Amino acid sequence: MRPNTRVIAAAFAVSLATLLWGASCASPPLLRVSEVANAGDGTAVRVYGVVADIRLYDSGYTSVLLADHVTGVTVQVILPPSRPEAVLGEISIGDLVLTKGTTSLEPAGAAVFADRSAVEVLSRAAFTMSVEFLSAHWRLFEFDRFNISGRISTEGDEGFHWLVDPVSGHRIRVTPCEGWLSPYANARVLIDCTLIVDLRTMTIYLKAWAVAPFE
């Protein structure tokens, strides 16, 4: 039986609201990524957003790029040299996370210097990343590998498979299209994939590494 996608979307919204409400019961203030620039320099804040990039530097610092899950606005979160391998093992591209730290407003852009180990996963990529969000902000995820869910469709261009957002109707092409994607036509799936940008043909598609039913 296929799941009711509207119920799933509503349940995710309620779960997110519950998590954030619980987090908002204590100080410092809870902000979306797009609100950080207005918080003032040196302000203690808590910020939530979608992980778009993770980089580990020779100095031991880790930089996590968070994106607003609605507007795509980004902010750098700098984690101090404290067991970075543990942090990298806990979060993944596409996860919705909450971090606590102090703002730094520089000409190059806003940043948050996070407290040690102050990163909490609110929702995994499978439940956070939508085809609609990815289609609007694909530049943030060029050549990134992540999990995303949606409905497999063969409607439209002949020979192609598409991952479709069951709520908004947005879609993005998926390859490979032979063999093992075909049994999932019109089914809701979870795909382990990499976002590919082919500059020769000016196309964007998901290269799938694994696919599984997603209930």
User: Is the domain of 120 the same as that of 134?
Assistant: no
Give the per-residue pLDDT at 76.
Answer: 94
Question: What average pLDDT does the chain have?
Answer: 82
Residue finishing a domain among 107, 124, 141: 124
Give the per-residue pLDDT at 11.
Answer: 45
In a domain, 30, yes or no: no
Give the per-residue pLDDT at 117.
Answer: 66
User: Is the domain of 107 the same as that of 142?
Assistant: no
In a domain, 81, yes or no: yes
User: Is the domain of 163 the same as that of 111?
Assistant: no
Read off the pLDDT of residues 113-155 as tens digits, 9 standing for 90 and up. 987 667 889 999 999 999 999 999 999 999 999 999 999 888 7
Residue finishing a domain among 124, 153, 168: 124
Give the per-residue pLDDT at 1.
Answer: 37
In a domain, 64, yes or no: yes
Query: Beta partners for 107?
Result: none
User: Is the domain of 45 the same as that of 117?
Assistant: yes
Amino acid of residue 186: N
Give the per-residue pLDDT at 82.
Answer: 66
User: Is the domain of 139 the same as that of 189?
Assistant: yes
Tokens of 150: 């949606």
The predicted model scores a pTM of 0.80
User: Is the domain of 67 the same as that of 14?
Assistant: yes
Rounded average pLDDT per 10-residue block, the chain, 215 residues: 44 49 65 92 94 88 91 92 64 94 86 83 92 93 94 75 89 76 83 91 89 85
- What is the rounded distance in angstroms from the CA atom of residue 130 to the CA atom of residue 145? 14
In a domain, 35, yes or no: no
How does DSSP assign the chain, residue by residue?
Answer: ----HHHHHHHHHHHHHHHHHHHTTSSS-EEEGGGGGGS-TT-EEEEEEEEEEEEE-TTS-EEEEEE-TTT--EEEEEEPSS-HHHHHHH--TT-EEEEEEEEEEETTEEEEEEEEEEEEEEE-HHHH--HHHHHHSGGGGTT-EEEEEEEEE--SSTT-EEEE-TTT--EEEEE--SSTTGGGTTSEEEEEEEEEEETTTTEEEEEEEEEEE--
Q: Assign residue 80 the CATH number of its domain.
A: 2.40.50.140
Query: Beta partners for 173?
Result: 162, 205
Sequence-distant (6+) residues with CB within 8 A of 163 are: 131, 148, 150, 151, 152, 153, 171, 172, 173, 174, 189, 191, 206
User: Structural domain tally of the chain?
Assistant: 2
Neighbours of 177 (CB within 10 A): 16
User: Is the domain of 67 the same as that of 120?
Assistant: yes
Residue finishing a domain among 71, 103, 124: 124
In a domain, 62, yes or no: yes
- What is the rounded distance in angstroms from the CA atom of residue 169 to the CA atom of residue 186? 13
In a domain, 28, yes or no: no
Tokens of 97: 């996370």
User: Is the domain of 159 the same as that of 186?
Assistant: yes
User: Is the domain of 9 the same as that of 93?
Assistant: yes
User: Is the domain of 163 the same as that of 209?
Assistant: yes
Q: How many residues does the chain have?
A: 215
Give the per-residue pLDDT at 139.
Answer: 93
In a domain, 206, yes or no: yes
**Is the four-CA dihedral 81, 82, 86, 91 of positive or negative sign?**
negative
Q: Which domain holds residue 120?
A: 5-21+41-124
User: Is the domain of 187 the same as that of 164?
Assistant: yes
User: Is the domain of 110 the same as that of 13?
Assistant: yes
In a domain, 32, yes or no: no
